[in-house]
Amino acid sequence: ELPGRLAILPFRNKVLLPGAIVRIRCTNPSSVKLVEQELWQREDKGLIGVLPVRDSEAAAVGSILSPGVGSDSGEGGRRSPGGSGGESTKQDAKSGKEPIHWHSRGVAARALHLSRGVEKPSGRVTYIVVLEGLCRFSVEELNARGSYHVARVSRLDMTKTELEQAEQDPDLIALSRQFKATAMELISVLEQKQKTVGRTKVLLETVPVYRLADIFVASFEISFEEQLAMLDSVDLKVRLSKATELVDRHLQSILVAEKITQKVEGQLSKSQKEFLLRQQFCR
C-alpha cells in the first residue's frame, strides 16, 4: 500500500527503478534530517520517495557508494514538480536561490538497512541507507517540511489484479517472450565470458517480466535521459519494448568487443608465428 504522502530524497543525475537495490551515504543536513525523522526513529523500516533531479540544478553533497546510485542534493523551498516555470521558480529567482526542477515521477523505496556514523573531529552525523525500489508514483504536490521535502503522490504502477488482467494481452505476451529471449542470450554470453554459471536464468522464469525489465536496465550504464525514459514507461508494452532494446544493445556491444578482441589476438598470433619463423631462419 502506497501512502498518500512520502518524504522525498533527491537523486542527483540518477534514477532508482523498481526492483533495484542501492546503497547510499547521506551527508547533506537535509537528507540526514529526513533519514532521522522518517526512517531511523521508526520501529519498522519506513517508505520514502526518490525523485531524480538534474546535475546542473542541484548541489551534490553526498557521495556515491555503488554503481547506479545518485547522491543526495541540496535544500530548496516550496516547489511544483516537473516544470521549469511557475510561481515557485519566480519566488526563487527573487530570493536569489537556484530553482530545483524535480522530475514529476519517482519511485517509492523501502529502507532495508540503516547505519549511523559520526565523523571525527567534526562530530557530523552521517547515515548509510540501503534502499529497495518498489513502485512508480506521480507527484501531485511538493512542499517543504523543515529542511527536506514531502510530496503528495499517486501510484502509477498497476495493482496485482490489473497486472493479472494485462498479462492476458497477446501483444504483451509476445513482448515478454522477446524480452526473455534477448535477456537469456545476454546471460549466456556473460556466463561464457566469465566462466561461471549463475542463478540469473532461474530468475527469468520466476520473477515477473515487468519487474525483470526494470532490474536489467538498472544494471546497465546508460544516460540519464534513458533512465528517465524507463522510469516514465508506465505502460507495460512500452516498458518491455524499451528494456528489450537496451538489453539487445548491451548484448551487441559485448559481441562486437569480443570480435575485435579475437581479431587483435589473431593478428598478434600471426605476428608471433612470423617472428619465430624469422628467428629459425636466421639460425
**Domain spans in the chain, listed from the N-terminal domain onward:** 5-155, 160-265
> Which has the higher per-residue pLDDT, 131 or 75?
131
Q: Please give the pLDDT value at position 78.
A: 36
CA-CA-CA-CA torsion sign (26, 27, 31, 32): positive
> According to the model, what pLDDT value does residue 74 have?
36
pTM for the whole structure = 0.73
Rounded to whole angstroms, how far apart are CA atoms 181 and 100?
A: 41
Q: Report the pLDDT value the prediction gives residue 63, as an integer from 0 to 100.
A: 33
Which residues fall within 8 angstroms of residue 205, CB to CB, at 6 or more apart?
none
* pLDDT tens-digit map of 17-73: 999 999 989 888 889 999 988 888 776 667 999 999 876 544 333 333 333 333 444
What is the per-residue pLDDT across 192-251, written as a single tens digit (0 to 9) for each? Answer: 776 655 666 777 777 888 888 999 899 888 889 999 999 999 999 999 999 999 999 988
- pLDDT at position 87 is 32
Fold of 5-155: 2.30.130
